[in-house]
Amino acid sequence: MKRFLRIVCTASLMLVTALLAAADFDYDLSPRKVAEDTWVVVGRNEDFSFENGGNIVNSAFIVTEEGVVLIDTGPSRRFGEQLRKAIARITDKPVVRVLITHHHPDHFLGNQAFPAASIAALPGTLEGIRRDGESFNENMYRLTGDWMLGTEVTVPGQELTPGPITVGRHRLELLALDGHTGTDLAVFDDSTGVLFAGDLLFHDRAPTTPNANIPRWLASIERLDALPYKVLVPGHGAPTTGRAPITQTRAWLQWLQATIRSGAENGRDLTEMLDLPLPPQQARLAVSGAEYRRSLSHLYPAAEQAALEHGGTGHEH
């Protein structure tokens, strides 16, 4: 009996310890220096979960003489607050500009941790946050749980105009692109050669497509590929000095587009498409199976409709 009680007490203690640890909601943010004055907080190559709290996104910051420029604030109020503290471990300079690359929730729901007047986004992103922000916030709570407690939608207080801006001695080129969403901001730092691509580029992870226009996305990738970058910072996945985010994202989108078009034109239904095996090049990317299934749900109905309208519905069977 005593042995049984000891086992029960030990198990209870372990449970309490685990619950207390979870209650800390620590994202364990560790900025990684990728160039002079430039750090990236790298998220996990995973789906949203109760374990990671939505920490699957990259946030980056540049320390200048005038203060810190931050690119994307993360998925929750907690993340934003912990990001602010992580920046303070690097520099005592204040965050003076916050640039939001697009309106997906893991990139802007940390806005609460920063003055709204310092946060800026392109007009289409502002519109998307106003339109979808509350539903995104609710959905993130369903996906990640209490990591989201206290998170409220904070719309950026400034509207960005594409073109060059100078902060300290850093000349930043603000590029208004699209394709991943209706409005995608990329930031190129001329002084260091760092390209902050947002979710126009993914590295070792399958791209997400809930608001995608693949032809326009591919055109935006060509714009990015033409820049004289030295370091690529994707929206998801590790920063790199190589071209992998460009080649991987382009290859995935081209394959996805061709697969969807072929399936629709040959009369395959959604169930048949879901059963198709992924080619090795695509299958090796993180969460590739899940993203392929999600992409079909987003994109396949329109492809089927287009095939019907153009008379291309011959069935392979």
- pLDDT at residue 313, as a whole number: 54
Residue 283 lies in a domain: no
Residue 18 vs residues 11, 46, 123, 146, 149: alpha-carbon distances, Å? 11, 22, 44, 15, 19
pTM higher than 0.75: yes
Question: How would residue 83 be classed by pLDDT, with cut points 50, 70 and 90?
Answer: very high
Residue 73 lies in a domain: yes
Residue range of the domain that includes 87: 26-242
Residue 96 lies in a domain: yes
Residue 284 lies in a domain: no
- Helix and strand totals (H; E) in the chain: 9, 12
Two structure tokens written together for 21? 């640890």
Q: What is the DSSP string of 299-312?
A: HHHHHHHHHHHTT-
Q: What is the pLDDT of residues 134-189, one digit of tens each?
A: 999 999 999 999 999 999 999 999 999 999 999 999 999 999 999 999 999 999 99
Residue 132 lies in a domain: yes
Residue 20 lies in a domain: no
Q: What is the Cα–Cα distance from 14 to 4, expressed in whole angstroms? A: 15
Q: Based on the structure, what is the number of domains in the chain?
A: 1
Q: For residue 174, which of 203, 200, 195, 199 has the smallest C-alpha distance?
A: 195
Taking all residues of the chain, what is their mean pLDDT, rounded to a whole number?
92
Q: What is the Cα–Cα distance from 178 to 186, expressed in whole angstroms? A: 10
Q: What is the pLDDT of residues 225-252, one digit of tens each?
A: 999 999 999 999 999 999 999 999 999 9
Q: For residue 42, what is the domain's CATH number?
A: 3.60.15.10
Q: For residue 158, which of 228, 99, 105, 78 has the smallest C-alpha distance?
A: 99
pLDDT at 11 over 70: no
Residue 301 lies in a domain: no
